[in-house]
Structure 1
Amino acid sequence: MTISSRSVLPVAALMILALTCADAKALSVVDAGMKVGVAQTRMTFADYGRFDGCPGLAAGLFLTVELADRLAVQPQALYVRRGGAYRDQANDPWGLLYGVDMAEFRLDYLEIPVLLRYDLLTDRAWMPVLLVGPAWGRLLSARYVENDGSDAGWLRHHDWALQVGAGLEKRTSGATWSLELLYRHALTGIAKGPPPPTTEVDGLSLMAGFGF
C-alpha cells in the first residue's frame, strides 16, 4: 500500500476544523503524563525487499486537550529507537542489495505526533479510544553498518508519518491509565537524493501511559 504525503492533508484539515469549531474558552487540559513502550520497525527498500525489524524503546510525554464532548487532541514528544538487519539470502551472487551481504541500522528519533482522539463507550471502565494524526520525526543519532564498513551520511535528518490506532483508557481518582497500539506509515523516505531511493520506515508501537 502506498500513501503519499497528500494523504495527511485531510487529517490535518480535520484537526484544524476541530480546533476552529471548538470554543476557545471551553478548551481544557484533561491530563498530562508519560508513556513508555516498544516500537517494532519495518524498513523497506524499493525493489529489494525488507529488513528484519527489531524492537526498540519508545518513551516520552503527552498532553491531552479536550476540544468537545468525546473529542480531544493529544500532542506528544517521544524518544523512539528503530532498527533492523539485512542478511543476503538470494541466489544471485550479488544479492538483493547490490554488493551487500549484511547490513544493520539503528536510528534514534525525537518524534512529535499530534493525534486527534475520539472517545467511544464512555460509560465503560476501560474506555475505547480512536487515534489518528501526523507525526514529525527528527533524527538524533544514527548507526548504519554495511558489510565491513559504516556510513550514515545517506540518511535524512527528519521525516513525516501518519499514525493510526486505537487504545483503552481507565480513569481513576487523580490518575489516568492507558494502553495504545498505533500503526506508523511513512509519508517520506529516510534517504537523501537526488533522486532518493524509496527507503521507508513503517512499524507498530505498543505503549502504556500514565496521566495525572
Structure 2
Amino acid sequence: MKVQRIISLTLLAASLILSTKSQAQFSMNAGMTLGIDWASVSTGNEGDEALNIPGLYLSGQLDFDFTRQFGLQTRLAFVQKGYGFDFTKYNIDLKQKHRLNYLEIPVFLKYDFLPDPEAELEILAGPTFGFLLSEQYTVETSLGTPEPPPASETEKKDTGFALGLSIGKSTPSGKFSLDVMLQTSFSKSVTVGEGEKGSNQYFMVGLSYYYPLVVGKNQQSK
C-alpha cells in the first residue's frame, strides 16, 4: 500500500504541473547515465560504523518536459549497493563486504532553475523502487581462509527516495549533463550482523547524455 500511495502522489503532482501551463508544448528525450556510487547501510545504531564501498551505476531514462521548467523523468537503472566492515581496528582479524546488485526504477519530478534554454540546473526528487538481482558476501582474514557466507536474509524489494542535482548543456548532437544523487531506503531490508537490520543508502556521481525524441516549443531554441 505504501508503494501504491507513493506512485499515486507522484502522478498527482505531475498532473498538477501539467495543468499549470496547459499551452506549453510537450518535449521528450531519451538518455543514459554512467556513474560511480558509494554505498553503505544505516542501522540507526551509532556503534555500527559500516564502510562505504564503490559500485557501478548504469541507467537508461526517458525525460519529459511539460513546461520550460517542470518535467518528469523515469529511469531503469542497474545499481550496485552494499556495505563493508573492518574489524581489524578492534584487533579482530576480520573484514566483511556485502555486495547487493539491484534493478532500480526511480520516478523523478524535476525543476530547472535557469531561464537559458541551452543550459540547465535541475533538481530532481522522487521515489525509487528497487528489486534485488544478486548478492555476494565475502569474509577475509589474514590467513586467507574465507569463512562460509551466512544464509541470505536480504529482502527482495527496496523502496526509497532520491534527491539529485543535474548541470546540463545542450549541443547540436544532444544534451550532456553532470549528475549527483543521494538515495536512501525507507525500509530496513538488509541484515547486518546478528539479526540487526539496516537501510541501503548511496551517493552517486555520473555523466548523462540525452537525445531529443520529441522537440517541443520549450526546446526549439536549443
Q: TM-score, normalised by structure 1?
A: 0.80
Which residue identity does 1:37 align to in structure 2?
Answer: G
Alpha-carbon contact 2:42-2:199 (below 8 Å) kept: yes
Report the CA distance between 1:64 and its aligned residue.
0.5
- In the alignment, structure 1 segments of 5+ residues that lack a partner are 94-99
Residue 25 and residue 153 in structure 1: after superposition, are their counterparts in 2 closer, same or farther (change >3 A)?
Answer: farther
Which position in structure 2 is the counterpart of 1:45? 43
Which residue identity does 1:108 align to in structure 2?
Answer: N
Which position in structure 2 is the counterpart of 1:157? 156
Report the CA distance between 1:120 and its aligned residue.
0.9
Report the CA distance between 1:205 and its aligned residue.
0.5
Report the CA distance between 1:148 and its aligned residue.
0.7
Residue 18 (str. 1) matches residue 11 (str. 2):
no
Secondary structure in structure 1 of the residue aligned to 2:153? coil
Which residue identity does 2:13 align to in structure 1?
Answer: L
Q: Aligned ranges for residues 125-140 of structure 1 at < 5 Å?
A: 125-140=118-133
Q: Aligned ranges for residues 17-36 of structure 1 at < 5 Å?
A: 17-20=13-16, 22=18, 28-36=26-34
Report the CA distance between 1:171 and its aligned residue.
1.2
Which position in structure 2 is the counterpart of 1:72? 71
Taking the aligned partners of 1:143 and 1:10, their CA distance within structure 2 comes to: 30
Report the CA distance between 1:156 and its aligned residue.
0.6
Q: TM-score, normalised by structure 2?
A: 0.77
Please give the per-residue CA displacement for 1:163-199, whole angstroms capped at 9, x wherever unaligned.
Answer: 012110111224011111111111111237xxx7331
Count of equivalent residues: 198
Taking the aligned partners of 2:6 and 2:29, their CA distance within structure 1 comes to: 27
Report the CA distance between 1:67 and its aligned residue.
2.4
Which residue identity does 1:118 align to in structure 2?
Answer: Y
Report the CA distance between 1:52 and its aligned residue.
1.1
- In the alignment, structure 2 segments of 5+ residues that lack a partner are 140-145, 212-222
Alpha-carbon contact 2:14-2:72 (below 8 Å) kept: no
Residue 137 and residue 175 in structure 1: after superposition, are their counterparts in 2 closer, same or farther (change >3 A)?
Answer: same
Residue 189 (str. 1) matches residue 185 (str. 2):
no
Structure whose CA Rg is larger: 2
Query: Superposition RMSD on alpha carbons, in Å?
Result: 3.0
Taking the aligned partners of 2:69 and 2:33, their CA distance within structure 1 comes to: 21
Alpha-carbon contact 1:19-1:67 (below 8 Å) kept: no
Moved more, 47-56 or 201-210: 47-56
Percentage of pairs with the same residue: 21
Which position in structure 1 is the counterpart of 2:113? 120
User: 4+ residue runs of structure 1 moved beyond 4 angstroms?
Assistant: 9-12, 23-27, 89-93
Secondary structure in structure 1 of the residue aligned to 2:52? strand
